[in-house]
Amino acid sequence: MKAAIVAVGSELLGPSRLDTNSLWLAGKLDEAGIPVVRKACVGDDAGAIAAEIREASRRAPIVVVTGGLGPTADDLTREAVGEFSGRPSAIDPGILEEIRGRFARRGIAMPAINEKQALVVEGTRPLRNPRGSAPGIWLETEEGIVACLPGVPSEMKRMFEELVFPEIVRRFAAPPRSRRVLKIAAMGESAVEERVGPVYAKWSAHAFTILASVGEVQLHLVAAGAPEVAARLLDAQTEDFERALPGRIYGRDDDTLESVVGARLRDLGATLATAESCTGGLIAQRITDVPGSSDYFRGGVVAYANDVKTGALGVRPETLAAHGAVSEETAREMAEGARGKFGADFALSATGVAGPGGGTPEKPVGSVWIALAAKGRETRARFLRPPGDRATIRAWTASAALEMLRRTMAGADTD
Amino acid sequence: MKAAIVAVGSELLGPSRLDTNSLWLAGKLDEAGIPVVRKACVGDDAGAIAAEIREASRRAPIVVVTGGLGPTADDLTREAVGEFSGRPSAIDPGILEEIRGRFARRGIAMPAINEKQALVVEGTRPLRNPRGSAPGIWLETEEGIVACLPGVPSEMKRMFEELVFPEIVRRFAAPPRSRRVLKIAAMGESAVEERVGPVYAKWSAHAFTILASVGEVQLHLVAAGAPEVAARLLDAQTEDFERALPGRIYGRDDDTLESVVGARLRDLGATLATAESCTGGLIAQRITDVPGSSDYFRGGVVAYANDVKTGALGVRPETLAAHGAVSEETAREMAEGARGKFGADFALSATGVAGPGGGTPEKPVGSVWIALAAKGRETRARFLRPPGDRATIRAWTASAALEMLRRTMAGADTD
């Protein structure tokens, strides 16, 4: 039971793009206990793609190919499958109709070049793509199967989950493994690592992975065995990690900090507003990334200019004059102003020096104040000093603000 | 003149690590005009590594292998080279002495396991590693060369630059190449492709790549020859693409839509404000991603709730009642309200149904209105119907709004 992945696209061979689809695929295949034994990236050349499919099939019975199914002249995976299987292809009228329909629903005529997406190689089965115009290809070989999926991650993932994975599990499944991801926001990787060290030691026979991105640390847990057995093991490990990081694990698996915060606001029947300077709309954008956020998100102000802070948020000019825009006092007044203006139960604010310019000896780049105003409570403010560049400082600040709200709603008022 | 890269390491086949060495190598090889035609990742298995080296050598005369040269039991690239070349290997006393010396200088005895790093396959040449204990391997084959380097990026880079690259340039060098990327916003890939088809045909001897992400299409151009010659060629091609896509190429190379819009606002001495509903702060966030954006960005309102649209932006309740929040009229009043409120020269607005909920038969998910209010001009509005999920609809809308502003500032008022 082994899999090989082939990623198609000349851009993946240059100096700036990596095949990240394979990470997700490796994770999914791993759930079925199927290891990926090799990966290859190949350019937009039908002969070369066919050679890679051939080589991959020699190495593993399960081959997943991503990319090269678009409508343009350099999308050549269909042609490669024809070359690999040695069979002719023809336009499938049903698929052509479906593609035409997709365009028609958007009120436009199908461009002529999209026609080739309806080409089907004899002996292969098209895989429906509910999110895009590129159908996938399912091909049975003597050695196993080849599944070709689009390179667009959202289309690839959905088609793999709905059409390819169940079929692979049915045919090849080895004993399953369960995974769980525990997520921590606005805490550094080494700080997390230090606290969870004893848990690692206790469960030393198990493999944990710690993964850090800006403003978030993830603990990846894996357990083999039947789902109930594995779940019990993961529960026991989770308990230990929660004890090592009290109140700091905000969610698991597909949770995002904003989805967890949103769900809690909904439970409380509470509303939220934002007042952002250095984050420039990032906090509001993350909150509204969550479908249904209009249930609890009232709105926000991006107050970039100082007179917007006074005019739109009611920050007092004297506060700005005495303490500056990046100060505890300004952060507090921004949050309180947004709460009042939008009539919300909670309001988050952020003001800081995101850089690269604008730093001073007293307030160097990376100096940030966040505040949380809450109905019936005292406004709280926190100073942050995230390291890194402009994008990192902004992202970390947004996470820290959302985490401040989450912890407050969870009753963990102090840090 | 072609190269292939093989990255060795089981960790590169899991769900969390990518082979990033190949990006750097692709960039370096490109400087010498040598394209990478394929990359492969393989696990810690001597037979599998040997098979990958064999396959890579068939595809390209230059093969660079990274990783698998360490001292541990799962470092098997040396063994794989032996298997690939079919020749025996033996400890090289000189290298062994060197490795021993490295440890001695740090005051420790060489661990026994490091001895195997002195194994040299007959007919290969060891490559000195000034930064670590793992020597590299240089192997000549009938087809070309195979260079094996450690996986540690700092060691790999130094050895490639000092030992491998000069030798490759000496033997294989083709004339150098120059690259250029042309960028188009808020236009579909097939729409771009259809318009540039004739340019492709005219320059059919040259390789173009078209790359699409949400709201952006990139044309990647490559030209061989001395830098001045290549630049002239790229200029001529660029001119043709600009003619095929009049006014639609917003920038090149490292430009982003928001950096181009920002630079133009600064040139004009003009200011900008935003009024966002469905994009939830994404437009403001992209504008403020650019360092120095406080020079021209005044601020914005994220008006999620309807009474925020009236209260904070001055949208008339009658407008909302008569036309709804997602309408041309509301979009116009949002933009005009933001321009007035923030005292800006330009204001962008967006209101739409980002989904997945909230769609109606008249206004299905993906229905979006954007508007641009400008000092001394009539407010303009546009209807969009971006395909895809919530994130895609939001991202496309933000790009379309920024592109509307860019084109207006460029004097291309009509679409």
Contact B293 A280 (CB under 8 A): yes
Give the DSSP per-residue string, A370-409.
Answer: EEEEETTS--EEEEE---S-HHHHHHHHHHHHHHHHHHHH
More confident residue, B103 or B327: B327
Residues on chain B touching A99 (C-beta within 8 angstroms): none
Residues on chain A touching B293 (C-beta within 8 angstroms): 280, 304
Kindly state the average pLDDT of the residues A376-403: 94
- A109/chain B closest Cα distance in angstroms: 11
Kindly state the average pLDDT of the residues A90-106: 91
Residues on chain B touching A19 (C-beta within 8 angstroms): 18
Provide long-range contacts, Cβ within 8 A and 24+ apart, for B248-251.
B248/B184, B248/B187, B249/B182, B249/B183, B249/B184, B250/B183, B250/B184, B250/B185, B250/B403, B250/B406, B251/B183
Measured distance CA(A206)–CA(A209) in Å, rounded: 10
Q: What's the pLDDT tens digit per position in A314-356?
A: 999 999 999 999 999 999 999 999 999 999 999 999 999 999 9
Sequence-ordered list of residues with C-beta below 8 angstroms from that of A411, at least 6 positions apart, any chain: none
Q: Is the pLDDT of residue B111 over 90?
A: no
Q: Beta strand A346-352 with A272-276: parallel, antiparallel or unpaired?
A: parallel
Residues of chain B with CATH 3.30.70.2860: 177-252
Type of residue found at A28: K
Contact A71 B26 (CB under 8 A): no
ipTM of this complex: 0.76
Burial of A31 (0-12, 13-18, 19+ CB in 10 A): middle
Q: What's the pLDDT tens digit per position in B7-47?
A: 999 889 988 789 999 999 998 898 788 999 999 999 999 99
Q: What's the pLDDT tens digit per position in B190-202?
A: 899 999 999 988 9
Spatial contact of B40 and B7, defined as CB atoms under 8 Å apart: yes
Q: What's the pLDDT tens digit per position in A237-249?
A: 999 999 999 999 9
Cα dihedral value B145, B148, B152, B154, nearest 10: -40
Spatial contact of A354 and A390, defined as CB atoms under 8 Å apart: yes
Q: What's the pLDDT tens digit per position in A281-325?
A: 999 999 999 999 999 999 999 998 999 999 999 999 999 999 999
Measured distance CA(A309)–CA(A323) in Å, rounded: 14
- B118/chain A closest Cα distance in angstroms: 28
Chain mean pLDDT for chain B: 92
Residues on chain A touching B20 (C-beta within 8 angstroms): 18
Residue B94 host element (H or E): helix B93-105
Task: Return the beta strands (E) in A123-248 as ranges.
Answer: 125-127, 136-140, 145-149, 177-185, 208-213, 216-224
What dotted CATH number matches A177-252? Answer: 3.30.70.2860
Residues on chain A touching B43 (C-beta within 8 angstroms): 37-38
Helices (H) and strands (E) in chain A, counts: 14, 17
Number of other residues whose CB lies within 10 A of the CB of residue A108: 13
pTM of the model as a whole: 0.77
Q: What's the pLDDT tens digit per position in B71-101?
A: 888 899 999 999 999 999 999 999 999 889 9
Nearest to A291 among B45, B52, B356 (CB): B356
- A300/chain B closest Cα distance in angstroms: 5
- A20/chain B closest Cα distance in angstroms: 8
Chain mean pLDDT for chain A: 93
Residues of chain B with CATH 3.90.950.20: 257-409
- A124/chain B closest Cα distance in angstroms: 26
Kindly state the average pLDDT of the residues A177-187: 91
Q: Is the pLDDT of residue B415 over 60?
A: no
pLDDT at B15 (0 to 100): 82
Nearest to B299 among A27, A305, A391 (CB): A305
Sequence-ordered list of residues with C-beta below 8 angstroms from that of B104, at least 6 positions apart, any chain: B110
In CATH, B257-409 is 3.90.950.20: yes
Tell me which CATH homologous superfamily contains domain B3-172: MoaB/Mog-like domain (3.40.980.10)
Sequence-ordered list of residues with C-beta below 8 angstroms from that of B379, at least 6 positions apart, any chain: B332, B335, B336, B371, B372, B373
Contact A43 B38 (CB under 8 A): yes
Contact B209 A357 (CB under 8 A): no
Measured distance CA(A120)–CA(A90) in Å, rounded: 5
Mutate: best of B304, B309, B345, B392, partner A, most A CBs <10 A: B304
Kindly state the average pLDDT of the residues B215-230: 88
Nearest to B26 among A13, A27, A293 (CB): A13
Residues on chain B touching A311 (C-beta within 8 angstroms): 341
DSSP-based helix, strand, coil % in chain A, nearest 5? 45, 25, 35
Contact B304 A297 (CB under 8 A): yes
Q: How many CB pairs under 8 A join A and B?
A: 239
Distance of CA B406 to the CA centre of its chain: 23
Nearest to B302 among A73, A211, A300 (CB): A300
Residues on chain B touching A304 (C-beta within 8 angstroms): 288, 293-294, 297-300
- B236/chain A closest Cα distance in angstroms: 22
Contact A282 B285 (CB under 8 A): yes
Q: What's the pLDDT tens digit per position in B376-398?
A: 999 999 999 998 899 999 999 99
Q: What's the pLDDT tens digit per position in B322-353?
A: 999 999 999 999 999 999 999 999 999 999 99
Contact B298 A305 (CB under 8 A): yes
Nearest to B391 among A59, A73, A289 (CB): A289
